Amino acid sequence: MSEDVRVGIIGAGAIVRLSHLPAIARVPGVRAVAIADPDSDRVKVLADEHDATAHADYREMIAAGGLDAVLVATPNHLHRDIVEHATAAGLHVFTEKPVAHTLEDALAIERACTAAGVVTQTGFNQRFREPVRLAKQGIAAGVVGDVLAFRSVYSESHAVYPAATGYRYNLAQSGGASILDLAIHRIDLARHLVGDIVEVCATIDHATIPHPADDNVFLLLRFASGATGVISADRFSPQVSNATDLYGPTGTIHVSSETRNPFQSVPLAFSSLLPHDQLPADFANADWPSAWWLDYTPGSWVSITPPRLSPYDAEWAAFVAAIGGTVDPDVPTIGDGVRAQEIVTAAYRSVREHRWVSLPLEDPAEPIPSYS
């Protein structure tokens, strides 16, 4: 392997242009050396900007050699074929979420990566946001006590994100719109912050968007720990809403990223019955009483505004570290992506059979729903 991890980028769409290529350019130890996309204009612009070779076909790019890893950032139904080609060439795999458009493909991807023994990562970038990292620390320190309730909302209009193509709303290609694109981030966050999910009950509807796709999702969750949770995602609200709350008998932690929304006006807030000296340092040091002679009051609300660091930089730094042998258990692997996809599949079954569905699923086969 050369000194830098040499990455072949597959897909020259919005997420690669906006997030991955700028992050790779900033992070030491990694270079984007080749980009593949059948759209000759998009691939040429990005390849020229980033001093990479341009390819129309990812198979030809992989066969040309000179790569250590690939980033998979195409429409979801293509992920399996790409990963199977990449792992056959012994390349490490960073795949965008969702891992695939169906659980069966996601499981095949996991098998291919395991058999090849390569490093894997799934693009659940929200784990790398500072407020989430701190929330995880706070939970471990007992700021809320046992997490008993998890509530998360993710609203984002179908019209705001500057996608290069319309694949998201072609469910044969995406496998799901609001649930696989938005809610899956929160499914992963729920697993990351609270633990394994053992039961799901869902409502998934098409309410109003001008595409035959899910735009209004509610998931009710039971965790192995005994906690319960709810995730709601929609694609019709004109404003982005992005908030997660964790509740326990000792306190509450609130995490948000859309902080211009007055209801979610800080990136992180907590209220805890723990005394000041038992709070983690980042929590204890965030309290500014209204006069210097006043002490922290357990149970009061404290806001934290951590630095707004790029989660994509952190993702790439973690991928490079893992390839170098330093594995952080908080970094989402393809296995984490598959477990999240299994919960989406369980939600589809819950809607189709109108019941709670237990995990793990014995039968991964489930039709992609259709909406009119």
Ligand X SMILES: NC(=O)c1ccc[n+]([C@@H]2O[C@H](COP(=O)([O-])OP(=O)(O)OC[C@H]3O[C@@H](n4cnc5c(N)ncnc54)[C@H](O)[C@@H]3O)[C@@H](O)[C@H]2O)c1
Judged by CB under 6 A, which of 5, 7, 8, 13 binds ligand X?
Answer: 13
Least CB distance from residue 252 to ligand X, whole Å?
26
| Residue from 330, 343, 18 nearest 180 by CA | 343
- The answer to whether 94 contacts ligand X (rule: CB under 6 A) is no
- The answer to whether 15 contacts ligand X (rule: CB under 6 A) is yes
- The answer to whether 123 contacts ligand X (rule: CB under 6 A) is yes
Least CB distance from residue 240 to ligand X, whole Å?
13
- The answer to whether 76 contacts ligand X (rule: CB under 6 A) is yes
Count CA atoms within 13 Å of residue 297 on its CB side. 8
Neighbours of 196 (CB within 10 A): 13
What is the distance between the terminal CA atoms of the chain, rounded to a whole angstrom? 50
Site for ligand X in 324-343 (CB under 6 A): none
Residue among 231 and 269 whose Cβ is closer to ligand X: 231
Judged by CB under 6 A, which of 70, 73, 268, 274 binds ligand X?
Answer: 73
- The answer to whether 11 contacts ligand X (rule: CB under 6 A) is yes
Residue 362, helix vs strand vs coil = coil
Residue 42, helix vs strand vs coil = helix
Least CB distance from residue 347 to ligand X, whole Å?
17
Judged by CB under 6 A, which of 5, 7, 10, 187 binds ligand X?
Answer: 10
Whether 368 and 204 have beta carbons less than 8 Å apart is answered as no
Cα separation of 31 and 5, whole Å?
Answer: 6
* Token pair for 209: 């968007």
Residue among 6 and 77 whose Cβ is closer to ligand X: 77
Q: What are phi and psi of 181, to 5 degrees?
A: -95, -45
Site string for ligand X, 146-185 (x = CB under 6 A): -----------------xxx-x-------------x----
Cα separation of 134 and 255, whole Å?
Answer: 9
Number of residues in contact with ligand X under rule CB under 6 A: 27
Least CB distance from residue 57 to ligand X, whole Å?
7
Would you say the C-alpha torsion 249, 137, 271, 125 has a positive or negative sign?
negative
The footprint of ligand X (CB under 6 A) covers: 10-16, 36-39, 42, 58, 73-76, 78, 96-97, 123, 125, 163-165, 167, 181
